[in-house]
Chains A and B, each alone.
With several copies, the nearest count.
Chain A
């Protein structure tokens, strides 16, 4: 098995997503597996973007924690990531504009400064000036050499990408690619890998994000109405839907707000079409009132909630899994609904199709939970996982109703299954009102004139009966990994991907580990999960949030407490080694150290410098002082000028609180 991770770092607007895409698709066409993650900010130009593309000859389910090659598109990217490149790795940068201090890199790392001016000189002569963004193609060429892959697939991809722009543009890009490739070949005699060693199965796989998979699945499942209001990280579903509306025939509606989105989607559901909407946590907060309406009205409709860093506007472009209770508690009162959280892109596809079918069958809203990582990261998946030959199961509707013969139509007939016959609006003879007030079998309100406690009791029971029936047809979660493990990891959603790899690493290390991923949140497989967890030894939840919400939730359903929690809530996804280390620490009963680490102190100093317009400085050395007047030990960080390396002052940061306690430049200033 062979794998490498390429990191591309720069600012928004530097075009690095395009480059990453080219790289990934080249590898995908080569028959390799790719998993990419883009760490970006809520900003259109500038800021810092950090894209990691992991390439492997077997399926990988997270972006990992290695860094083989860093392509740095600006100076800040060097400051931030040079240290992360593993031994044996390379750092590529435009040496016309960027410098990399030797002090910033690990030993065994090779710098590959590319003078873009020189390298692209020939191309520029032939095709005209090379725009900064095009220089990325040069870097891609160099990367292809370092990976031991040819340029053939990449040329193909570039040809497809620029097909609309004509031959000239294609040729220019190909020429830049080759220039980079040749340049690297010249400088780096031995690439990281040898091509032949990549165990490719030569299967060409689509490179797709979670959101694209959800959108495509909706189309395949017969969705006819999609409403949305833009919100990261759900917007790309809207973009897919809008871009392809002409082809799919789906009515795609950007509404004035999420309240409108939810209510319109429900309206379309009442009208009789398969209907979906998606948003992030903040938008979903606005939809919750409508969710309950769909519940009491028994309307099939799909809500997708893509979680991002909270609370509130929080970290709009960062990943988190902290909305479980918002979704579980959505809307006042009690009503049946399905809550499902797919774990990867293929599962997102399948779950979307299943959601439409279950919504229709049980006449209820489905809340699908995703997260930024799952929804926005692209990955190569087998084309079969995106098949359009899905089962589309719609129940029979009443086509015409003879009230003379059969009595008045009862839209909410009390049945043993809880499912009532449905006649869509437009059906002759079956007129009825779909109401958010509670009602009797015919839909007549029992909240006003016709109050009736026993009717209320029975309609509540009718509705809630559907839950138990639905649970029977949902597959119970299964323990993955060895049966009698020392450690059982509990996870949900996209965290499955990294937990799977961490478990593998732990098993390799001799710590027998298995893991349980919860997909169906409501209804919940209480019996099966209780059984699994009560047999487990050391149970540790792994979640990207602060309060281990799934662990709490599982405890509520099963009574079983975890023995430990692994959490991350800084906006970045978990990585396998973090989990491994934390599991080891917990097995050794170490308590979690929340103090500021050296690397963190460094980053906090960088943050201070950036936000105080002192970007010309850089933290150089640091040491801990105990107490020091501020009531806690402090990190004392020496500052140096970025260019001259001249000492420039100090910053003191509380090692418990992380507070910047003091800042001294020339003349002392308290911060």
Chain B
């Protein structure tokens, strides 16, 4: 492993200030990503932050790096494309629970089973923030929202279990209210080779009056304090992912070394695509034409 030269966090200060509501959990996530990039010594020009649409998906606009602010639910395929075009950059995908687990969950599953070497930080606020507060796939049963005034009747997704059984090789949970731990977790996720998902509680102070900072504060605990080993056993990790009502684990729940998609992809053996020449092998081309005769 090459030695890492840490960068000052200010390196990543974005061009404009975030426009989130005061107190929004996303501030802590932004700060954590900036700290993680700084800690890992990733230069702004080598960092690519890709998002979908949502309050949380505005994040790329607030960090000094390259960014794509794509379509609602499509951050994962867009990031896959950007990443495969230029594998020399570090890709961090960010977005909301609606974006990632609602409309985008199909892409997510397929990216995870590819074990694509990217990091995905979901700002999970159990609500649709930007569209002013409808139910989300992580809203709890009974949650009253603009679209479920009588209470949500759908079971919430367990994104961590989903990730573990789909093939993600680094599965963690963060909380914006435990910002230092979150920064460390994201830093570790970025250094992990393979797909890393960091589901992050990032309270929406405007529309979610249930899953608030105090609600989480009462429940969260740090897995590392318990001596839990995320590399040991899938089923134990799965069990941890189901802890919810009374106590909720933070940190790395599951970690596993596996070949990545990039390892298997022949076209990348010669390095990043964008750095390869556009010249073609004319003799070979001629042979392809000859085959048609």
Contacts and interface: CB of A to CB of B under 8 A. Distances in A.
User: Are chains A and B touching in the complex at the 8 Å CB cutoff?
Assistant: yes
B186 interface: no
Interface string A120-156: 0000000000000000000000000000000000000
Interface residues of A, number: 101
A583 interface: no
Given A243-B149, A271-B82, A426 B16 contact: no
7 contacts: A13-B206, A254-B147, A256-B106, A267-B50, A267-B78, A290-B71, A293-B70
A104 interface: no
B13 to A, nearest CB: 11
Contacts of A436: 53, 69-71
Nearest to A28: B293
Nearest to B80: A264
Interface in A207-245: 207-208, 212, 216, 219-220, 222, 224-225, 227-232, 235, 238-239, 242-245
Contacts of A45: 20-22, 206
Nearest to A157: B293
B45 A430 contact: yes
A267 B71 contact: no
Most buried by B among A225, A238, A260, A282: A260
Nearest to A212: B292
Interface string B1-25: 0000000000000011101111000
Interface in B98-142: 102-103, 105-107, 109-110, 128-132, 134-135, 137
B58 A448 contact: yes
A259 B77 contact: yes
B72 interface: yes
Contact of B147 (A47, A212, A242): A242
Chain A CB within 10 Å — which of B55, B65, B71, B282 has the most? B71
B85 A235 contact: no
B71 A272 contact: no
Nearest to A450: B16
A542 B238 CA distance: 60
A611 interface: yes
B175 to A, nearest CB: 21
Interface string B256-293: 00000000011110100110101011101110111011
B60 interface: yes
Given A212-B292, A444-B61, A250 B267 contact: yes
A268 interface: yes
Interface string A242-271: 111111111111111111111111111111
A84 to B, nearest CB: 25
Interface residues of B, number: 84
Given A246-B266, A256-B105, A268 B85 contact: yes
B69 A434 contact: yes
B190 interface: no
B88 interface: yes
Contacts of A268: 81-82, 84-85, 273
Nearest to A262: B77
B77 to A, nearest CB: 4
B64 to A, nearest CB: 6
Given A264-B80, A388-B282, A426-B89, A242 B69 contact: no
B131 A251 contact: no
A432 B69 contact: no
Interface of B: 15-17, 19-22, 43-46, 48, 50, 53, 55, 58, 60-61, 64-74, 76-86, 88-89, 102-103, 105-107, 109-110, 128-132, 134-135, 137, 146-150, 206-207, 265-268, 270, 273-274, 276, 278, 280-282, 284-286, 288-290, 292-293
A29 B292 CA distance: 10
Contacts of A430: 45
A46 interface: yes
A245 B19 contact: no
Contact of B66 (A219, A251, A260, A426): A426
B71 A313 contact: yes
A476 interface: no
Contacts, number: 273
Interface string A601-643: 0000000000101000000000000000000000000000000
Contact of B67 (A252, A432, A448): A432
Contacts of A392: 278
A429 interface: yes
A197 B84 CA distance: 56
Given A225-B85, A267-B85, A611-B15, A256 B285 contact: no
A271 B206 contact: no
B86 A230 contact: no
Contact of A267 (B81, B285, B290): B81
Contact of B78 (A42, A249, A263, A394): A263
A394 B274 CA distance: 13
A171 B73 CA distance: 47
Contacts of B73: 257
A541 interface: no
Contacts of B50: 267
* Residue of A13, A44, A256, A313 most packed against chain B (CB within 10 A): A256
Contacts of A269: 81, 85
A274 interface: yes
Contacts of A386: 289
Interface in A180-219: 204-208, 212, 216, 219
A232 B131 contact: yes
A654 B180 CA distance: 46
Given A267-B80, A433-B66, 12 more contacts: A206-B290, A230-B131, A239-B147, A245-B149, A251-B267, A251-B268, A263-B78, A267-B78, A267-B84, A388-B285, A425-B66, A431-B66
A581 to B, nearest CB: 35
A433 B290 CA distance: 45
B77 A255 contact: yes
B20 to A, nearest CB: 8
A267 B72 contact: no
A44 B85 contact: no
Residue among B58, B137, B284 with max Cβ neighbours from chain A (10 Å): B58
A264 B274 contact: no
A273 interface: yes
In order of increasing CB-CB distance, the 8 nearest A-B pairs are A267-B81, A271-B85, A222-B278, A206-B292, A263-B77, A251-B267, A433-B67, A230-B131
Given A273-B85, A435-B69, A260 B77 contact: yes
Nearest to A264: B81
A444 B15 contact: yes
